[in-house]
Amino acid sequence: MQNQVLKQVIMMNKAAFDNTFNAMVTLQQQADRMTEALLEQATWMPEEGKKVLNDWKGSFKSGQDNFKKVTDEQYAKVEKYLETL
């Protein structure tokens, strides 16, 4: 009985994480679109500055993807472990 409750708690935690992460991704995508629109209108900004901002966005996206991947892997490990109990 305790194992089943623990599994449900972990699954609820994973669902909460996934929902929060998806909301964060949506907000980031909106910020990306706003940044792109701003950069298109910023004729005063040199191309090097635009490149830096685009590189920064790419690094952020890569980090975001890596974080999600690692978190999903860890949840999978916990689920596998709980199956052995």
Per-residue pLDDT band for 4 (boundaries 50, 70, 90) equals confident
pLDDT recorded at residue 2: 83
Instruction: State the residue range of the domain holding 19.
Output: 2-83
**Per the confidence metrics, is the pTM higher than 0.85?**
no
Burial class from Cβ neighbours inside 10 Å (0-12, 13-18, 19+) for residue 71 reads middle
Q: What is the 3-state secondary structure (H, E, C) of 6-70?
A: HHHHHHHHHHHHHHHHHHHHHHHHHHHHHHHHHHHHCCCCCHHHHHHHHHHHHHHHHHHHHHHHH
Q: pLDDT tens across 14-59, in order?
A: 999 999 999 999 999 999 999 999 989 988 999 999 999 999 999 9
Q: How many domains does the chain have?
A: 1
Question: Is pLDDT at 85 greater than 80 in this prediction?
Answer: no
Q: How far apart are CA 10 and CA 82, in angstroms?
A: 10
Per-residue pLDDT band for 83 (boundaries 50, 70, 90) equals confident
